[in-house]
Chains A and B, each alone.
Chain A
């Protein structure tokens, strides 16, 4: 681990743990969820009065770690020190008593109550049995003034914009006497202007001596506001650096990781005619913010086009727009020369589009269905499986038995429910199904997430063999290694746009990493020249 500054080692050398200069120390935190090691011996050191970023992709374990610091979940093992003293945090009350406050990604406000009522909720100042609204208002005004957090105390929460609601959350935390503030992806819901205002507030808080832990996966924010950074990947800390000593490139590399070195044997691509074209596509995410912003790409038969990028840069929305699961705001999706922008998922499937979805439990499988039902999802009304209104059960079962054998699904029992299989075997079921329908084009999203090496290799080989049979493949992956080993062309996506197109032969992980951090290829190449 070349990037790791082993702070804990230096203190261990002194043979005495002097953590007094740290506001927060989390030591060897382990948290296991069913099937996942969410935090694998994570160490975190946050100095008093600094803004410390925790960066990592979705699912890296950042929020899990913070939830343990705030007592929302309990660690399996590990220790927590606040201002040098070890404490146990069993629930949020313990955390509040230790002067820790957390602003969640999804606000915890009562929409119909006023700002004042929300802030004091649970610790209202009173006159005897009566709520002392004027006292509360005065206290809040004082806090607002001190930190430059201006809010209208009597406004109703649901009338306020998101940025202001977030301020209310921050005041709520300060009202409870927090000295250590945890902000979980605070900018995810904000506009750029609101983000800038938030940063002003954070600077003000810091100047008043507060310690701030800032969770994000946006690297430019890390560079703009923080003092030091802890990078996490797959539940482990992959780097601890001072912000001044690092750059987005290095951070991207630590986030994406480079430890897996899987090279897949593949020959030259025999590229055919264009099969999919996306033109100036605009797609919104669930909250209505624009996630794909004028994206254009094309895929030909017999090639694998990889889309690299840090999670949350519009990849999910792009995939859903191409496969018909999400509304397109502007632009076109053209498949086999036909404008399919407004076609239903069914029509796209019938035209020969396959889809291995990113979230296999949400989209890919009906986990309460037996395997033989899952094997026909999307083709259940095909004459092969359905005779008018009636399902051809013997044929369906025979077909499923064949697939289970061919794709080595274990255990090979087609009556098992989808939920009873391991992640790798669930993925095999989906891959088997999508391939068996003989698509001409396939969107493959995060095909190997959470799988073991064996399953990864199997799925990679399968994708290559599809390509060799003339199928066009659009591969979306957060694993840079996967993108490099499979793709014939690589597109890098950042904030809903393509930063550049490269081939794995002519580029480097550093270059792609920089594009993932928001640098355009042409800028990089001109810099070099």
Chain B
């Protein structure tokens, strides 16, 4: 038992991120003291802003919903040895397509229109990402380059569409609203904030991705290609097919993230819908160590920091502090060898003593 417990704590999948978060909070506290602010007040406000009221918690969970999905998107790519920087573009295409379909859903009952919306969003993201996957397999183009370029293409397509053929009346870059039957029901409403059923979609995706990676043939092949393409090929696994497939699934998750914003929050495509969620997905996948459950926690961590930062600003500490926190977390997780080395020293000292 004690051994099992020790193993659990020494599992660096857990230790490294937790260590990173605690250290970053500590370093940020020092920064705050140096600029003459009280870190206890600031962190108090941060916690209050993230969890303190019903509205705060709802806001927090609404922020977490798409982040879980973009985190899964990037994390799944990492597992397949692919660096999908294009979650943002895939998210935009997914959101745009599902919005379009959503405006045509007036005559459909919710039990048809909601699944259709979800599938459309996923297909949009999947196809967009598969372009990069195909380019890698067929032409050897690195996915980092192609996905970044596809991000721009997606942004400009969306800008054109919501400023032209698919613009709602009023001269603002936004699309018409989607049908009521295509919207997620609100689970809880508190003032001007509400929690949509999208959170369940995100949590379901966590479970599905977990099963996909850990329990299926496809997951096995994707991981084998990611870890060691030579051995995968030797074992009869097609590198090309699995690369395109992994890219497509990664894109589907990103597309789903965009669809969440359409179905649960804005009910339309807005010019700024994409934001930086695709890039946040990279952060989250790193902190979550590419593990679906870890990613869910990491997404919630980031959304909490973000949600709480406004309250911190009100308490007189610049909300940019959270960017410092986030930066340090990423730094420590990305340099996890450093963290492990540090912890190994400590252990060795104990053993020697």
Contact = CB atoms under 8 A, between A and B. Distances in A.
A389 B228 contact: no
Contacts of A362: 228, 230-231
B217 to A, nearest CB: 5
A91 interface: no
B230 A380 contact: no
Given A344-B236, A345-B236, A364 B216 contact: no
Contacts of B220: 373, 380, 391
Contacts of A345: 233-236
Nearest to A374: B231
A366 B234 CA distance: 11
Contacts of B233: 325, 345
A377 B232 CA distance: 8
Chain A contact-residue range equals 20 to 34
B347 interface: no
A393 B215 contact: yes
Nearest to A381: B217
Nearest to A388: B217
Contact of B217 (A323, A325, A365, A386): A386
Contact of B216 (A369, A373, A378, A391): A391
A524 interface: no
Interface string A326-360: 00000000000000000011110110000101000
Given A355-B234, A378-B235, A367 B215 contact: no
Interface in A365-411: 365-369, 373, 377-378, 380-381, 386, 389-391, 393
Nearest to B232: A366
A389 B218 contact: yes
A378 B236 CA distance: 6
B342 interface: no
Contacts of B237: 346
Contact of A364 (B223, B234, B238): B234
A364 B215 contact: no
Contact of B228 (A349, A366, A378, A393): A366
A3 B215 CA distance: 59
A287 interface: no
B80 to A, nearest CB: 13
A365 B232 CA distance: 9
A416 B232 CA distance: 19
A16 interface: no
Contacts of B9: none
Most chain A CB within a 10 A radius of its CB, from B220, B228, B232, B235? B235
A363 interface: yes
Interface residues of B, number: 19
A412 to B, nearest CB: 18
Contacts of B228: 362, 365-368
B221 interface: yes
B266 interface: no
A367 B230 CA distance: 12
A368 B230 CA distance: 13
B344 interface: no
A286 to B, nearest CB: 13
Contacts of B230: 362-363
Given A366-B227, A368-B228, A369-B223, A389 B217 contact: yes
A369 B227 contact: yes
A372 B227 CA distance: 16
Contacts of A365: 228, 231
Contacts of B221: 380
Contacts of A380: 217, 220-221, 235
Contact of B235 (A368, A377, A386): A377
A362 B231 CA distance: 6
Contacts of A391: 215-217, 220
B227 A368 contact: yes
B234 A325 contact: yes
Contacts of B216: 389-391
Contact of B215 (A346, A357, A390): A390
Nearest to B231: A366
Contacts of B223: 366, 369
B219 to A, nearest CB: 8
B132 to A, nearest CB: 24
A97 to B, nearest CB: 35
A58 B233 CA distance: 25
Interface string B229-266: 01111111110000000000000000000000000000
Given A368-B228, A369-B223, A349 B217 contact: no
Interface in A203-235: none
Nearest to A323: B234
Contact of A377 (B215, B217, B231, B238): B231
A6 B330 CA distance: 59
Nearest to B227: A368
B123 interface: no
Contact of A363 (B217, B218, B231, B238): B231
Most chain A CB within a 10 A radius of its CB, from B217, B221, B223? B217
Contacts of A369: 223-224, 227
Interface string B26-57: 00000000000000000000000000000000
Most chain B CB within a 10 A radius of its CB, from A366, A380, A390? A366
State the 9 A-B residue pairs at the shortest beta-carbon distance, nearest first: A346-B236, A378-B235, A377-B235, A368-B227, A363-B234, A366-B228, A366-B227, A345-B236, A366-B231
Interface of B: 215-218, 220-221, 223-224, 227-228, 230-238
18 contacts: A345-B235, A346-B237, A349-B235, A355-B234, A363-B230, A364-B234, A366-B223, A366-B228, A368-B228, A377-B224, A377-B231, A378-B235, A380-B217, A380-B220, A380-B235, A390-B215, A391-B215, A391-B220
Given A362-B228, A380-B217, A391-B216, 12 more contacts: A344-B236, A345-B233, A346-B237, A346-B238, A363-B231, A364-B234, A368-B228, A377-B235, A378-B234, A381-B217, A390-B215, A390-B217
